[in-house]
A and B are shown apart, each in its own frame.
Chain A
Amino acid sequence: MATETAPAAYDSKIEGNIIFTRLDAAINWMRGNSLWPMPMGLACCAIELMATGASRFDISRFGAEVMRFSPRQSDVMIVAGTVTYKMALAVKRIYDQMPEPKWVIAMGACASSGGMYRSYAVLQGIDNLLPVDVYISGCPPRPEALLEGLMRLQAKIAKEDSLLAQKRELLDDIG
C-alpha cells in the first residue's frame, strides 16, 4: 500500500543544516521550480503571455521567467495562439528539438481546440501533434489563468517518478 509521504522533512533538533527528502521529490522540486518556457507565441495569446512575463504579473515568482528562444534550452513549450496548418509542422519540429524532460501548455481556446476557427486553415488543437500537459481555457486567457496553468503543471511534475523514468531510459540505452 502506497502511503503519502511528505516530500521533505526538516528537524532542527537533529542536525542544523540537513533536510531529509526522497530523490524523486528533490528532482521534481528542482524541475518544477525552474521551468524554462519556450514561448511559442502565434497570436493574441502571446500578448497575454508577455503580460504574464512582465512586472505586474511576474511569472518569475514561479521560477519560469527564463523565456528561451532556443528550443534546446527550454523545458516547457507554451503554445500561445492559433496554430495554422502552415505553422503546425514548424511547431512540431521545435518541440522535437527540446531536450527531455519536456512539457507542453496549450494556452487558450485556439491552441487547445482550434477555438473559433472551424476553418480550412487552422489545426483543430495542438494535441493533434504534441502531448499536451495542461490546457488553459480563455480567449485569450488572463495572465492569472496562465499562472494557474503553470502551477497545475508544477503539481503534475511533483507527482512524476523521475528517477524511475531515468533508470528506464538508461536500461533502454544499454539495450
Chain B
Amino acid sequence: MDATEAASKLEQELEEDFHGSTVFRGEVSVVIPDSRIKDALKFCREALSFDYLVDLSGIDNMDEEPRYGVIYELYSYQYGCHLRIKTGVDEAERELPSVVDLWPTANWHEREAYDMFGITFKGHPDLRRILMWEGYPFFPLRKDFPLAGKQSDMPDVAFSESAPLEGGPFVTSPTSAGTDKREPRSRETHS
C-alpha cells in the first residue's frame, strides 16, 4: 500500500466527509473536516496501520476561514509510506479531539499547539503549556502576536517585556545584486 491507496481507502471510509487530496512532489495530503478528524485518524491508525505520528503542528491562516488548522504527519512502518492529514479549526471554538489515545507521542505535540496557538484538545490527559510558563497570557505563534512580544508578569514565575526591534524585523529578498543589496533590511525600507 502506498499513500495514494491509503488516501482512497480513507475516502471510501469517510465518503462525503473526505474533502479531497492533493499530491505535491510525491507527498499526499488529505483534508478532513474537524467533525470527523478523530474517526479519520482512528481509521488510519487501526485499519491502515499508520503506527507512527511523525508530527502534529498548528497553523494560523490569518484572514482565512477557518482561521486555525492542525496538520498530522503520519507514517506507516509496515508499508513505509507517509500521509499528511489537514484539518481546519474554528476560530470561536478552537477545539479538536485529542489523539493521545491513538499515539501517545501526541501528548507533547498537542501541548505545544495549545501553548503557541491556543487550540485546546478535548480528552488530553494533561493539557498544560509546554514551552512558555503556566500563567503566560498570550499565544505567541498567532499571526496577530508581535514578534517583539508583549509585556506580562507572573510574580515569582516569570515576566516578559517587549523586545526593542529598532526598525526590524529585518528581511532579505532574493537578488543577484551585490552583498550591500542582499543585506537584511527592515520591511519599510525594502523596495
Contacts and interface: CB of A to CB of B under 8 A. Distances in A.
B interface majority secondary structure: loop
Given A86-B132, A86-B133, A124-B164, A118 B148 contact: yes
B158 A118 contact: no
B163 A85 contact: no
Interface in A47-106: 85-86, 88-89
B157 interface: yes
Contacts of A119: 147-149, 163
A121 B159 contact: no
B160 interface: yes
A124 B160 CA distance: 10
A121 B149 contact: yes
A121 B132 contact: yes
B164 to A, nearest CB: 7
B149 A120 contact: yes
A86 B147 contact: no
Interface range, B side: 20 to 34
A85 B140 CA distance: 14
A128 B164 CA distance: 14
B157 A89 contact: yes
Contacts of B158: 85-86, 88-89
Contact of A118 (B140, B156, B159, B165): B165
Contacts of A124: 161, 163-164
Interface of B: 131-133, 138, 140, 145-150, 156-161, 163-166, 168-169
Report, nearest first, the 9 A-B pairs whose CB atoms are least far apart: A120-B149, A118-B163, A85-B160, A85-B158, A120-B140, A86-B133, A118-B165, A86-B158, A124-B163
